[in-house]
Amino acid sequence: MSDTAPAPSRRLDLPRGRGLELGGRPRVMGVLNLTPDSFFAPSRAPEPEQAASQARRLIDEGADVLDIGGESTRPGSRPVDPQEQCRRVLPVLEAVRRDWDGPISIDTSSALVARRAWESGADIVNDVGAGRLDPAMTALAAESGLPIILMHMQGTPETMQENPTYGDVVAEVRDFLLERAAALERAGVRRERILLDPGIGFGKRLEHNLRLIARIGDLRAAGYPVVLGVSRKSFLGRLLDGEPPAELLEASLAVAAWAAAAGVEMVRVHDVKATLRVARVTAAIAAARAPNA
């Protein structure tokens, strides 16, 4: 793998004195969907009791970050009102924060939801809109000091898979993300609090997804931590004779291993325990390839 390189050690400073060490193996972000319609049914936890149980399982399995969201962004999904997102996520976020001191990410493109989540104890914003869907998100990131994950998406979740087209998908995704990062930096967001996500499956065809994963080192070379979310996505099923998300654990782990070998800083997954094991072993092998190992 030409772009294999250990991730450099760095600390991601979080609010309230917390921090997240990046480097070595990818940090594992566990998905907690407080929605009735996310694409992978076992990840849905629309009821508070179910959500609390799901959160505890992800934490017990070793999640480095818990990513809580109240709006599905699967292909064809429609926006969820910010007040409804708050109704779904805030009680669960507050309950998790009472019992766990680890990093919590709020998965939203709404500045209102992000602000309320920050006030309730969230540490990171995971914005699939990269600050474009709600212009107030940039000001919130600057004001709060919350690290923000900027994701590439062609279109919106409702329209993104209608006819995604690119010339050079790797260059276009990289250039978009660097432009968005620069815009946030101009608005006062510190560079070390920006992470980039190529948006696998968000306005991409199979060949686009594969090219972005294969060339993930091109995005890492820009100097920002990279987040990769591939877990159980449908394009993997198309590589395996149409298997549904429930049958895509091994495929997801294959990409997690690739990401670990390439030095990706964070992976967003449904299967924390298995991914963590794969990441630890693969990162150790990759580190052993370094000249001074």
List residues with catalytic annotation: 233, 268
List C-alpha distances in Å: 176 to 4, 32, 153, 198.
Answer: 24, 28, 10, 10
Q: In 3-state terms, what secondary structure has residue 88?
A: helix
8 Å CB contact between 31 and 245: no
Short-list 153, 138, 146, CA closest to 117:
146
Q: How many CB atoms lie within 10 A of CB 25?
A: 25
List C-alpha distances in Å: 132 to 5, 30, 127, 138, 256.
Answer: 32, 25, 9, 9, 28
Q: Please state the separation of Cα 110 from the chain's center in Å.
A: 16
Short-list 157, 110, 117, CA closest to 135:
110
Short-list 120, 110, 181, CA closest to 140:
110
8 Å CB contact between 225 and 22: yes
Short-list 231, 217, 277, 149, CA closest to 7:
217
Short-list 56, 52, 68, 183, CA closest to 123:
68
Q: In 3-state terms, what secondary structure has residue 80?
A: coil
Q: CA-CA distance, 110 to 114, in Å (whole number)?
A: 6
